Structure 1
Amino acid sequence: MRGEGGVLAMALASRGIVLLAMLAWAWLGSPYDSSAALDLPCLSRDDHGFDRGGISNSTLLRSVVWDGVYYLRIARCGYEYEQMHAFQPLLPLLMRFLSNTALRGFVPVFGYDETLALSGYVINVMAFVLAALYLYRLSLYVLERERMAFLATAFFCFNPASVFYSSLYTESLFALLSFAGMWYLVSGARWKSAILFGFSSIARSNGIVHAGFFLFQCLHLVYHNKVFHMKRPLLAGSLFVIIQCGLQASLVVAPFVVFQAYGYFEMCFNDSKQQRPWCKATIPYLYGFVQDHYWDVGFLRYFQLKQIPNFLSASPALLLASSAIVTYARAQPKLFYSLGLAAPSWQKRKAALLPDHSKPPRVKKEATGFYAVASVPFVFELLVMTLVAFLVMHVQVSTRFLSCSPVIYWFSASFRRQWIGWWVFLSYTLVGTLLFVNFYPFT
Structure 2
Amino acid sequence: MLLHGVLNKKTTKIPPECRVSTTARVLLIALIAIISRLFCIIYTIIWNKLINNYKFSNNILCYGDKGGETLWQYIKCFSYWDGEYFLRLSLNETEYLYEQNHAFFPSLPLIIIYTKNLLKRFLLNMNECEMHVLIALVINNLFFVCATIGVYVFPLVHFKNRKNAYYDEEEEEQQTLQRQKQRQQQRQKQQHGYALPSTSEQNCFYLRNVKDKEEYNRFSFFLSILYTFSIGNIHVSSFYNESIFSCFSIWGFNFLQLSVSWYKMNIVFEILAVISFFIASCFRSNGILFLIPLFFFNIHTCKFFEYIISTQFCISKEKKRKHKITIISYFSTKRHIFSFIIHWLKALIEAIVIVSPFIIFQFYSYQLYCVQQEHNDLWNEQNIKFSSFLNNFRKNFFNNFNIWNNKKNILINRPWCNKKLPFVYNYIQYKYWNVKFLKIFKSPNFNILYSAPIFFISFHCVHNFFRYNKFIPSNILVFFHPFFGSIIHLCILSLYILIFAHNEIILRLIISSPMFYLHYAYLLKYFEKWNYLFFVNLMFFFVGPPLFGTYIGWT
TM-score, length-scaled by structure 1 = 0.85
Answer yes or no: is 1:197 the counterpart of 2:219. no
Does 2:306 match 1:224?
yes
1:381 corresponds to 2:403: no
2:539 counterpart of 1:427: yes
Of 65, 80, 91, the match for 1:52: 65
**Stretch moving more, 122-131 or 209-218:** 209-218
1:409 aligns with 2:517: yes
**SS of structure 1 residue aligned to 2:444:** helix
Closer, same or farther: CA 276–247 of 1 in aligned 2, 3 Å: same
Deviation string, structure 1 residues 318-360 (Cα, Å, up to 9, x no partner): 111111111222111538x94xx426xxxxxxx75xxxxxxxx
Name 1:136's counterpart in structure 2.
152
> Does the alignment pair 1:314 with 2:451?
yes
Which deviates further from its counterpart, 66-75 or 313-322? Answer: 313-322
Q: Which of 253, 258, 270 is 1:187 aligned to?
A: 258
- TM-fit CA distance, 1:302: 3.3
Aligned-residue RMSD, C-alpha: 2.2
Q: Which digits, 9 at most, give the CA deviation of each residue in 1:342-391, with x for residues without a partner?
A: 26xxxxxxx75xxxxxxxxxxxxxxxxxxxx4222111110111110110
Residue equivalent to 1:91: 108
Q: d(CA) in 1 for partners of 2:438 and 2:541?
A: 28
Q: C-alpha separation between the residues in 1 aligned to 2:470 and 2:491?
A: 15
2:462 paired residue number: 325
Aligned to 1:438: 550
> Identity of paired residues, percent?
25
Query: Contact (CA 8 Å) 2:232, 2:541: kept in 1 or not?
Result: yes
1:168 is aligned to 239
Shift of 1:288: 0.9
Secondary structure, aligned partner of 1:61 = helix
Could you tell me how far apart the structure 2 residues matched to 1:103 and 1:379 are?
44
Counterpart of 2:249?
178
In structure 2, the CA distance between the partners of 1:259 and 1:164, relative to structure 1 (3 Å rule), is: same
The AA in structure 2 aligned to 1:284 is P
Contact kept, 8 Å, 2:451 with 2:503, in 1: the verdict is yes
The aligned amino acid for 1:342 is L
Return the match for 2:223 from 152, 161, 179: 152
Matched with 1:258 is: 360
Secondary structure in structure 2 of the residue aligned to 1:38: helix
Does the CA contact (< 8 Å) of 1:320 and 1:408 recur in 2?
A: yes
Q: Which amino acid aligns with 1:120?
A: A
Could you tell me how far apart the structure 1 residues matched to 2:77 and 2:486 are? 37
- Structure 1 stretch 111-120 or stretch 147-156: which is displaced more? 147-156
2-structure distance, mates of 1:332, 1:299: 32
- Report the AA paired with residue 39 of structure 1: L
Do 2:257 and 2:482's aligned partners in 1 also have CA atoms closer than 8 Å?
no
Residue 194 of structure 1 and its aligned partner are, at CA, apart by 0.9
Residue 37 of structure 2 aligns with which residue?
15
Distance 1:307 1:86, change over 3 A: same
Query: Match for 2:47 among 7, 16, 25?
Result: 25
- The Cα of 1:442 is off from its aligned counterpart by 1.4
Displacement of 1:103: 4.3
Q: What is the aligned counterpart of 2:435 among 291, 297, 305?
A: 297
* 65-74 vs 420-429, which moves further: 420-429
Alignment check: 8 A CA contact 2:151 2:224 kept: yes
Q: What residue in structure 2 maps to residue 246 of structure 1?
A: 348
Q: How is 1:56-135 mapped onto 2 (pairs within 5 angstroms)?
A: 56=69, 57-77=72-92, 78=94, 79-106=96-123, 108-135=124-151
Q: Give yes or no for contact 1:225–1:234 (8 Å, CA) kept in 2.
A: no
Q: Comparing 161-170 with 29-38, which one deviates more in the overlay?
A: 29-38
Per-residue deviation at 1:116?
A: 0.6
Structure 1 residue 169 displacement after superposition: 0.6
Q: Return the alpha-carbon distance in structure 1 between the equivalents of residues 130 and 531 of structure 2.
A: 39
CA distance in 2, matches of 1:177, 1:422: 26
User: Which one has a bigger Cα radius of gyration?
Assistant: 2
Match of 2:11 in 1: none
Tell me how many residue pairs correspond in the alignment. 402
| Matched position secondary structure for 2:368 | helix
CA contact (8 A) 2:247 2:512 kept: no
**8 A Cα contact 1:37 1:62, kept in partner:** no
Q: Which whole-Å deviations, capped at 9, do the CAs of 1:266-306 have from their partners, x for residues lacking one?
A: 222358823212122221101111111111111112324x6
Aligned residues of 1:99 and 1:116 also touching (Cα < 8 A): yes
The answer for unaligned runs of 5 or more in structure 1 is: 42-50, 344-350, 353-372
TM-score under structure 2 normalisation?
Answer: 0.69
**2:88 corresponds to which letter in structure 1?**
R
Once structures 1 and 2 are overlaid, which stretch shifts more, 417-426 or 320-329?
417-426
Q: 1:381 to 1:82 in 2, by over 3 A?
A: same
